[in-house]
Structure 1
Amino acid sequence: MDTLHPENDRLPSPPLISDRVLINGVITPLTLTADGELQWTESGLRKSTTEKEILSFAVEGNKVKLKTLVERRGSICCGGSGGDYARKDFVFEPLYDESRKLWCDKLRQRLDSLVGRPKRLLVFVNPFGGKKTARKIFLEEVKPLFDDAHVQLDVQETKYQLHAKEMVRSIDLSKYDGIVCVSGDGVLVEVVNGLLERADWRTALKLPIGMVPAGSGNGMIKSLLDPVGLSCSAASATVSIIRGHRRSLDVATISQGTTKFFSVLMLAWGLVADIDIESEKFRWMGSARFDVYGLQRIICLRQYNGRILFVPAPGFESNGKPASYNVDKESSVSDKTVLGYQGPDTNLEDLEWREMKGPFVSVWLHNVPWGAENTLAAPNAKFSDGFLDLIVMKDCPKLALLSLMTKLSDGTHVQSPYVSYLKVKAFVLEPGSRIDEEDKEGIIDSDGEVLARGRRSYKCDEKALMSYGKLQITVDQGLATLFSPE
């Protein structure tokens, strides 16, 4: 609720309804304007509840109860309680039955006119992510807000890895206004991959996906909430979904032969991938696991042989050296008999390729700014600009690297002379072995999951989607849809 000052008043909006009602036992003029503001006088102040703050209303006897949100600036802890909003009820009593009926009709018309507000959602709750608090977060912080907004929920707890992907690939989505992931970034990735494997993927991708932070990383929802000054909390994320604003999201296609994986967050090889995947042994620590294991990996620093090729975005053509690239024909030819999305239709051989050769400490490719709630990996990344942000680190002294790690929280690491930071519209990774132990290779990580494991790498006996070899990455601009705070 806002206190409005006369000097800041805009031209008044015409009233939808205006009448005298009882508020706290006092007869008070109350007006609902055409632009959704509820105005009255109390204690000498004119107050207003905008359409952003009204969740729903209910009639209780002679009274009308508005379920509203009051803005507050609070917790900055991802997935924690508090956040930017508090629930508060505003109750008024019309003086006669006809007035109460008219108020209810006008309020219902106004709320129904808000474009994009979801009425029914499919919700995935991942009870295994992060500190395993997703179920508690959903029941205590998420569901009550959806209930207050009269949003129907079909809730599905994920029982195993790829469960969400299997479900969205086959279920009838026409009855839903969106999909919500109460998890870290992993379930979001599964949902996007499942939607892209559907025969009706073009229609399915228009269904917005919402994120509620309940995992270790929470990079996507942090990237959505942080630019508008909202804390990375379950309440702020849920309110953003209820309001129904949407934005498009680039999707990267990672190809190796005919095998494809669709990425929405990042790809990493070298230091970042090793920290992300090998720190799983400390998953009980939540997001602190990355800092603890990161220190270990810097002390015992690895470097990897290899080569990267990329097509720079305009303005970044000076990075790397000119190179030619022979496209993997097996990757580039779409199988028309296969259902689902096959990747962007781009003629890669006609592009101006550049290359960098190893050894590398880290190669990191990012689609959105935040890789985790405390890691501003790519400060200039945009959700739907058609480019990926590439962060490359080659030789770097350990002390300088330690300093760089402390700067990840505000994105200033990209200003280091040891870091190359650029935007690319196509990318090829040719990973190699460690320079000190040539019989050992690395891990390729995409969106927090292992894409490929090299020889004698962490859990190298476990099966991965791709082999530890050349990968080709292309971007399709604005392919997916997200619920967004603005």
Structure 2
Amino acid sequence: MERGASEPDPSRQRNGVVAALYGEFTDTLNDRVRYSVSLTESALTVQRISSSPGRSKVVFNLTDCIGCRAYRGPDSADVGAYFTAYFYPFKRRWMSAGVARQRVEQCFRVALVQDPLTNLREAERWAHAIRDASVLQAPRRDGVAYTEVRRPCRVMILVNPHSGRGQALQLFTGHVQGMLTEAAVPYTLVITEHQNHAREVVRKADLRQWDALVIMSGDGLLFEVINGLMEREDWQEAIQTPLGILPGGSGNALAASVHHYSQSPPAWNEELLLSCGFMLCKGLVGSMDLVSIHLASRQRLFSFLSLAWGFVADVDIESEKYRHVGAIRFLMGTLVRLATLRVYQGRLAYLPVKEAPKLPKGSIKANHPPPTPQHPSLCSSLSCRLIPNPSPSHKSHHNHNSTNSNHNTITKSSNNAITTKRPETQSDGKAVALVDSLLPGLDQPVPESWTVVREEDFVLVLAIYQSHLAEDLWTVPGAMADDGLIHLFYVTAGISRPALLRLFLAMEKGAHLACGCPHLVYEKVKALRLEPISPQGVITVDGEMVEYGPVQAQIHPGLARLICG
């Protein structure tokens, strides 16, 4: 007979600590093999019981545990019950160096008495205790404030079946679906059918039914979701819905960034998916900055990743033809664009983080008085007409629109500091639109506190607010999702093709800033304006092509919430 613990039910927590628990159980395949099992607030320890003095012991860290379930066996004549705990610890990779999360399950048979229900209750007691302890022991980064997704967590998962190499749905069923079952996370799967489908879904959804929205795709689908949330009348509550990302596209920049923020070893492909799935099951939520972007047509977008013009934007859009090869499409696009390297004429201005910034080479201070700020309103929304037939790709090469709304100031600025108050509502109950307090109208000159770049010939301009631009491009090694910064890079004309290639190769390891390239400039800013002079070109927001022309942007610290670790 197995011996159960005599302690009170450990699911009753005292001051957030799970009480210890001890029991003796048999192996699920061999009743002659017995184990002593002990549970503390931080670990599950399993030791085989034998007459030999050197008994093997295995310690499972509850930080790596996503769930535990109790159940009866398939044989109705079996009086025993079972509980299985699911762990995803870091283990040595097969056939390669480094470590990655790998699935491990630990299962035990409970047969304390001949009564099946008594045994099942004991198995459930253990499963409940392990689940409670694993919730408390989630991997947390020092200095970061987290909240937790409500449990049980009801999740809407939006999958673009055409993203990447068209394998997002297969990756979900093959890797993520089982993890969610192990973690007892109920979910509803929404398969997008056309471009802006996800945008329409979240704009109309009753978000009270969901504790999190999760995107299984590339970065483009999250762009749709964020803008759909910001177009709602209750946007200030809607944008607080925790957002999760599961890499299913070719770029997967946010997924790579979230993995990096968790301080985990580098991971790619299915290892990256497993890492993001693990963080989703753990349910820790942190803040994420969003950037408000204004186009010349007065359209307003919200961005979580990047604003690009020149080389980077060209590669992103031109490599669409290589989408079927997956992430390597960007390398192919880079080599093609290097062969015919272009120079782009334009003007760039930005508000540095420092009050007295050191001016980069070729820059001057704006010498005109600051204008009275004008706050362009949100533009009218797209209609929600459904398209019955799915397109081969959801990648957008068209403009994105937002909703009209009146403005009451909800953001105050002092120099280059941003302080956001809780959004107010109008008399009709509708939320007022978010105001970009640092931005003048696009038809107005920038304030004198901004830096204006004299150089008008660029190879690229990239504003990014996450650590990664793609799975294998570690663009901002020191970035965090909520650091309140736009990380601005630009490369001036005159750089050679080999030097530009060296920069991107160094970016794979985050070493490009140490290359000493005189044509590369990096600034931390709060706002920026880009005015292309070249008559033709490409501007992208989060990898999506937008209207070509003058554009300006401002950071909004911690506006959204991100499931991370």
Specify if TM > 0.5: yes
- 1:233-266, Cα deviation, whole Å (9 max, x unpaired): 2222111100111121110000135310001010
Identity %: 30
Cα gap change, 1:149 to 1:476, in 2 (>3 Å):
same
Which structure has the larger Rg over C-alpha atoms? 2
Q: Following the alignment from structure 1 to structure 2, what is the Cα–Cα distance between the partners of residues 211 and 367?
A: 16
Q: What TM-score, normalized to structure 1? A: 0.85
Report deviation, 1:27: 4.1
Q: What corresponds to 1:481 in structure 2? A: 561
**Most deviating of 410-419 and 330-339:** 330-339
- Give the deviation of 1:135 after TM superposition: 1.1
Corresponding residue of 2:101: 84
Which residue does the alignment assign to 1:331?
376
Q: Is the 8 A contact 1:343 1:476 kept in 2?
A: no
2:87 is aligned to 69
Q: 1:316·1:422 contact (CA, 8 Å) conserved in 2?
A: no
Partners of 1:126 and 1:76 in 2: CA distance? 32
Q: 1:30–1:38: 8 Å Cα contact kept in structure 2?
A: yes
Paired residue for 1:322, among 356, 365, 384? 365
Q: Which residue of 2 aligns with 1:22?
A: 26
Q: Which amino acid aligns with 2:359?
A: S
Q: Please, which of 160, 170, 182 is the counterpart of residue 136 of structure 1?
A: 170
| Aligned CA-pair RMSD | 2.7
Q: How many angstroms apart in 1 are the aligned matches of 2:164 and 2:95? A: 17
Alpha-carbon distance, 1:342 to partner: 3.3
Contact 2:84 2:127 (8 Å CA) reproduced? no
Deviation at 1:296, TM superposition (A): 1.9
Distance 1:405 1:189 in 2: 25
Match of 1:422 among 501, 504, 523: 523
In 2, distance between residues paired with 1:429 and 1:300?
23
Tell me the amino acid that sits aligned with residue 318 of structure 1.
L
| Corresponding position: 1:284 with 2:324 | yes
Q: Normalising to structure 2: TM-score of the pair?
A: 0.73
241-250 or 24-33: which moved more?
Answer: 24-33
Distance 1:218 1:351, change over 3 A: farther
Does the 8 Å contact 1:65/1:92 carry over to 2? Answer: yes
Q: Distance in 1 between matches of 2:252 and 2:432?
A: 26
Checking the alignment, whether the CA contact within 8 Å between 1:39 and 1:47 is kept in structure 2 is yes
- Secondary structure class of the residue paired with 2:208: coil
Q: Structure 1 pair 125/14, CA: closer, same or farther in 2 (3 Å)?
A: closer
For residue 93 of structure 1, what is the aligned residue in structure 2?
110
What is the aligned partner in structure 2 of residue 105 from structure 1?
Answer: 125
Deviation (angstroms), 1:161: 0.9
How many Å apart are 1:47 and its aligned residue? 2.5
**For structure 1, which segment, 362-371 or 95-104, has the greater mean C-alpha deviation from structure 2 after superposition?**
95-104
8 Å Cα contact 2:83/2:123 also seen in 1: no
Equivalent residue, structure 2, for 1:252? 291
Runs (5+) with no aligned partner, structure 2: 1-16, 49-53, 74-79, 136-147, 379-404, 408-425, 441-446
* Counterpart among 54, 57, 65 of residue 69 in structure 2: 57
CA distance in 1, matches of 2:109, 2:42: 17
CA 1:298–1:66: 2 relative to 1, 3 Å: same
- Matches for 1:70-469 after TM superposition, within 5 Å: 70-71=88-89, 72-74=91-93, 84-96=101-113, 98=118, 101-112=121-132, 114=135, 115-116=148-149, 119-226=153-260, 227-229=263-265, 231-232=267-268, 233-256=272-295, 258-314=298-354, 316-319=357-360, 320-323=363-366, 324=368, 326=371, 329-331=374-376, 335-336=406-407, 342-348=433-439, 352-357=449-454, 358-395=456-493, 396-415=495-514, 416-433=517-534, 440-452=535-547, 468-469=548-549
Compared with structure 1, are the counterparts of its residues 40 and 279 closer, same or farther at alpha carbon in structure 2 (3 Å cutoff)? closer
Pair 1:32-2:112 in alignment: no
Are residues 340 and 300 of structure 1, via their aligned partners in 2, closer, same or farther at CA, if it must alter by over 3 Å? Answer: farther
Whole-angstrom distance in 2 between the partners of 1:121 and 1:146: 10
- In the alignment, is the contact (CA less than 8 A) between 1:343 and 1:474 conserved in 2? no
Asked if 2 retains the 8 angstrom alpha-carbon contact of 1:21 and 1:29, the reply is yes
Displacement of 1:214 in angstroms is 1.0
Distance 2:213 2:18 in 1: 36
1:40-92 Cα shifts (integer Å, max 9, x gaps): 32262333333332422122241322131242243899xxxx95222424223
Q: For 1:246 and 1:76, locate their aligned partners in 2 and report how far apart those are by CA, in whole Å.
A: 34
Conserved? CA contact 2:70–2:127, under 8 Å: no
Contact 1:196/1:340 (<8 A) preserved: no
2:412 match:
none
The answer to which of 469-478 and 232-241 deviates more is 232-241
SS of residue matched to 2:478: coil
| Structure 1: segments with no counterpart, 5+ residues | 1-12, 434-439, 453-467
1:6-17 matches, within 5 Å, as 15-17=19-21
> 1:19 touches 1:30 (CA, 8 Å); kept in 2?
yes
The answer as to whether partners of 2:298 and 2:376 remain within 8 angstroms in 1 is yes
Distance 1:236 1:414, change over 3 A: same
- Conservation of the 8 A alpha-carbon contact between 1:391 and 1:414: no
- Give the Å deviation of 1:445: 0.7
CA displacement, residues 354-388 of structure 1 (integer Å, 9 cap, x when unaligned): 01131111000001011111112222322111110
Query: Match of 1:20, as an amino acid?
Result: E
Contact 1:177 1:207 in 2 (8 A): yes
Q: Distance in 2 between matches of 1:204 and 1:39?
A: 42
CA contact (8 A) 1:254 1:261 kept: yes
Q: Do the aligned residues in 2 keep the contact of 1:120 with 1:153 (CA within 8 Å)? A: yes
Q: Residues of 1 paired with 2:323 and 2:127: CA distance?
A: 47
Q: 1:476 and 1:70, CA in 2 relative to 1: closer, same or farther beyond 3 A?
A: closer
* 2:468 and 2:476 in contact (8 A); partners too: yes
CA contact (8 A) 1:392 1:420 kept: yes
Q: Distance in 1 between matches of 2:239 and 2:72?
A: 41
Structure 2 Cα separation of the partners of residues 360 and 381 of structure 1: 24
What secondary structure, in the 3-state scheme, does the structure 1 residue paired with 2:376 have?
helix
Question: Would the alpha carbon gap of residues 150 and 351 (structure 1) be closer, same or farther in structure 2, given more than 3 Å must change?
Answer: farther
Structure 2 distance, partners of 1:20, 1:297, is 65
Task: Tell me the secondary structure at the aligned position of residue 210 of structure 2.
Answer: coil
Q: Tell me the amino acid that sits aligned with residue 342 of structure 1.
A: A
Q: Is the 8 A contact 1:250 1:479 kept in 2?
A: yes
Counterpart of 1:47? 58
Task: Assess, with a 3 A threshold, how the Cα gap between structure 1 residues 388 and 50 changes in structure 2: closer, same or farther.
Answer: same
Distance 1:297 1:75, change over 3 A: farther
